[in-house]
Chains A and B, each alone.
Chain A
Amino acid sequence: MNFRNALVATTALCAASAVSAADLEVTHWWTSGGEAAAVAEFAKAFNETEGNNWVDGAIAGGGGVARGVIVSRILGGDPMHATQLNHGRQAEELVEAGLMLDLTDIAEEGGWRDIVHPVSLLDSCTVDGKVYCVPVNIHSWQWLWLSHKAYADAGVDVPSNWDEFVSSAPALEAAGKVPLAMGQQSWQSSGAFGVMLVALGGPELWTKVYAEKDADAAASAEMAAVFEAAAAARELSAGSNVSDWNLATAMVINGEAGGQIMGDWAQGEFAVAEQVAGEDYTCLPGLGVNEIISTGGDAFYFPKQDDPEVEAAQKELAKLLLSKEVQVNFNLKKGSLPVRGDVDLAAANDCMKKGLEILASGNILPDGNQVLSADTTGQLEDLMVEFWNDTSITAEDAHKRYADIIASAD
């Protein structure tokens, strides 16, 4: 009798907790000050739901390192419960191998196709008509961040486009500043080059090279001009011996460097340093030349688990990430744009408003991660980080190798 009671009690206890009580381990590579503050918003919102617990699995070292850890854990049979990845082709094969949880039912229930804007973000999460990830933000690469303090110290006006930036560089150098802050990691070198391509070569050239992998366009004279500009920018970045992007951003914040080409996630760092857009720093979308932004971003994938309780909690988290309140809180801290067109971002600062305007006007491109395979991205990164750090490589040499990579891209 006693034994049976105990059994019943235990079962009842299990059933009670089965509503959806689970500890979900979430991996991501958001470790800088602004990023950590943003991801804490997710954790807070999820911990407030009943019985659920966000177990933070931050991986240091940037996306390049973190993706290796994430993928090897999923393939090695020790999947986390949810993980950040970039939209697009990074998780393509994992989805095809059936390792990711199908979210189609909650996507239809929540009408994601109507609320996610631009809808191409959801398309990047969709494989064979089924939804496998939740886009959480829109990040664009095409920004030039300028330090007002550095320009004031050098006694010149803050530039309003790339050409002015280049011509004001000697004044900055004379004042002992580094004109262009540049982190040494390969993704930063490659990203900055992509931005220069969009801004100086124009969006048509970008689309031909990256989306259509047009070998002739990659070898064209327009492309050669972009490489010349990049070689000039390389000279301007000499002397920034930092590795992480946020350390380079810190140089701009402190006024040690004039500017930095970096995605809009840099804004989170300015926010943490309590700087005000327009007063302490200026942001120029598309380097002030072509006001276009790419709509890449981060998405959360949910590796498949055997436990139905965990699965329920995973779906709950997926819904939560797209809810209005969480979208606003997260993106304000992160400095990125929300994936919903219907949320109120009154608290957004100047730079985010510029981004929202460009987004609304439709001057958008897909992100490199959405059109290039991880393999090609890696090859381009290797070339760019070498080019950016080794001044003995001429623009022509780099251009030739670049054209070869695009010609053999898949």
Chain B
Amino acid sequence: MADAKRPNQLLRNLNAKVAAIPMVATALVVFVGCTIWTIVHSFTKSKLLPKTDFVGLDQYERLWKTNKWLISIENLAIYGICSLVLSICIGFFLATLLDQKIRFENTIRTIILYPFALSFVVTGLTWQWILNPDFGVQKIVRSLGWESFAFDPLYNQDIVIYGILIAAIWQGSGLIMVIMLAGLRGIDQEIWKAARVDGIPKWKTYIFIVIPMMRPVFVTALVLITAGIVKVYDLVVAQTNGGPGIASEVPAKYVIESMFKNQNLGQAFAASTMMLVTVLIILVPYAYLEYGGKRRAK
């Protein structure tokens, strides 16, 4: 009886399964296949072209001894944490402001979302000019009379990464705002009425009732922002090209430069494998909590 049922189970929704095969195959071959290929070659001394002369962990040893890589990782950590926190806070704050049924909401929403329509390269170049001490913000403030005013983050090794962060937040927070706004609009008006009847202040309603209800929206925003953080490259290239010195290098840039400029594939693959490991370290516990936990609850 059970034996007779099993093939049925496989053939159920056959059309849907057949239709999914190309996508599954692409994901397996392109994503998993290429990842394995990259990891395998990170143990070789491939130069410009992939070869299979295995050298063990040499590439990784060199990687973790290279100052440029260490600075890249540090920058990514600062940039990642700050942009995650700030994007979500600013995005949510702007969304609550827009949610107060103000006039010209559409206009304001469009203006705030507009930077997202620009590519990172354009964003980077624009902010490079704005932050340039010779003709940007510093120049304008000084010409207004504050002669000693200094604001040149892109030319200061210690804070250059924050200069890049400003541009990233400017570009990205509009999108987060729109997502949050959609989430806020999804909250049932009855809940607001109930809160008002109970005399709960507005800010308390947001923090203790609305935010917990918006969990899926926050997760969406989180995934979008994190994906952007790990692959940040074009913004840095356009804004500082890693400078001054190597103070604003990021891992993706290290990979690209090792691969094509320095013609050292092995080193590039070792670096990209480390990037993958970093992502997994964050992703695996999260996925475990998110999905593993649910199964147990059932």
A interface, CB within 8 angstroms of B = 61, 64-65, 67-69, 71-72, 75, 90, 92-94, 97, 184-186, 241, 243, 373-375, 377-379, 382-383, 385-390, 401
Among A68, A93, A385, contact of B245 (Cβ-Cβ < 8 Å): A385
- Cα A283 to Cα B69 in complex, Å, equals 38
On whether A241 and B49 interact (CB within 8 A), knowing A386-B245, A389-B244, the answer reads no
- Whether A389 and B245, one on each chain, are in contact in the complex, defined by CB atoms closer than 8 angstroms, is yes
A385 proximity list for chain B (CB < 8 A): 243, 245-246
- Whether B261 and A374, one on each chain, are in contact in the complex, defined by CB atoms closer than 8 angstroms, is yes
Among A186, A387, A390, contact of B157 (Cβ-Cβ < 8 Å): A390
- Whether B47 and A93, one on each chain, are in contact in the complex, defined by CB atoms closer than 8 angstroms, is yes
On whether A241 and B246 interact (CB within 8 A), knowing A374-B261, A379-B262, the answer reads no
- Whether B67 and A386, one on each chain, are in contact in the complex, defined by CB atoms closer than 8 angstroms, is yes
- Whether B264 and A375, one on each chain, are in contact in the complex, defined by CB atoms closer than 8 angstroms, is yes
Among B48, B155, B247, B257, contact of A93 (Cβ-Cβ < 8 Å): B48
B257 proximity list for chain A (CB < 8 A): 64, 68, 378
- Cα A69 to Cα B261 in complex, Å, equals 9
- Whether A93 and B263, one on each chain, are in contact in the complex, defined by CB atoms closer than 8 angstroms, is yes
A-B contact pairs, 14 of them (CB 8 A): A61-B241, A68-B257, A68-B259, A71-B48, A71-B263, A72-B260, A75-B48, A93-B48, A184-B244, A185-B243, A186-B242, A243-B241, A378-B261, A378-B264
- Whether B49 and A374, one on each chain, are in contact in the complex, defined by CB atoms closer than 8 angstroms, is no
Q: Which residue of A lies closest to B128 (CB)?
A: A243
Q: A68-B256, A68-B261, A75-B49 are in contact. List 6 more A-B contacts (CB 8 A).
A: A64-B257, A184-B244, A374-B48, A375-B262, A378-B257, A389-B247
- Whether B245 and A375, one on each chain, are in contact in the complex, defined by CB atoms closer than 8 angstroms, is no
Quote the shortest CB–CB distance from A390 to chain B (angstroms): 5
Quote the shortest CB–CB distance from A339 to chain B (angstroms): 25
- Cα A252 to Cα B17 in complex, Å, equals 69
B241 proximity list for chain A (CB < 8 A): 61, 185, 243
A387 proximity list for chain B (CB < 8 A): 245
On whether A94 and B48 interact (CB within 8 A), knowing A185-B241, A390-B247, the answer reads yes
Return the 8 tightest CB-CB contacts between A and B, nearest first: A389-B245, A378-B262, A68-B260, A93-B48, A374-B263, A375-B264, A389-B244, A386-B245
- Whether B243 and A243, one on each chain, are in contact in the complex, defined by CB atoms closer than 8 angstroms, is yes
Q: Which residue of B lies closest to A241 (CB)?
A: B155
B105 located at the interface, meaning its Cβ lies under 8 Å from any Cβ of chain A in the complex: no
- Whether A377 and B155, one on each chain, are in contact in the complex, defined by CB atoms closer than 8 angstroms, is no
On whether A373 and B260 interact (CB within 8 A), knowing A184-B243, A241-B155, the answer reads no
B262 proximity list for chain A (CB < 8 A): 374-375, 377-379
Quote the shortest CB–CB distance from B240 to chain A (angstroms): 9
Q: Which residue of B lies closest to A378 (CB)?
A: B262
A186 proximity list for chain B (CB < 8 A): 242, 246
A383 proximity list for chain B (CB < 8 A): 67
Q: Which of B200-245 contact A (CB under 8 A)?
A: 241-245
- Whether A375 and B47, one on each chain, are in contact in the complex, defined by CB atoms closer than 8 angstroms, is yes
B68 located at the interface, meaning its Cβ lies under 8 Å from any Cβ of chain A in the complex: yes
- Whether A97 and B157, one on each chain, are in contact in the complex, defined by CB atoms closer than 8 angstroms, is no
A185 proximity list for chain B (CB < 8 A): 241, 243
- Whether A388 and B48, one on each chain, are in contact in the complex, defined by CB atoms closer than 8 angstroms, is no
- Cα A71 to Cα B242 in complex, Å, equals 21
A72 proximity list for chain B (CB < 8 A): 260
Quote the shortest CB–CB distance from B174 to chain A (angstroms): 29
On whether A67 and B49 interact (CB within 8 A), knowing A241-B134, A389-B244, the answer reads no
Binary A-proximity of B247-274 (CB < 8 A = 1, otherwise 0): 1000000001111111110010000000
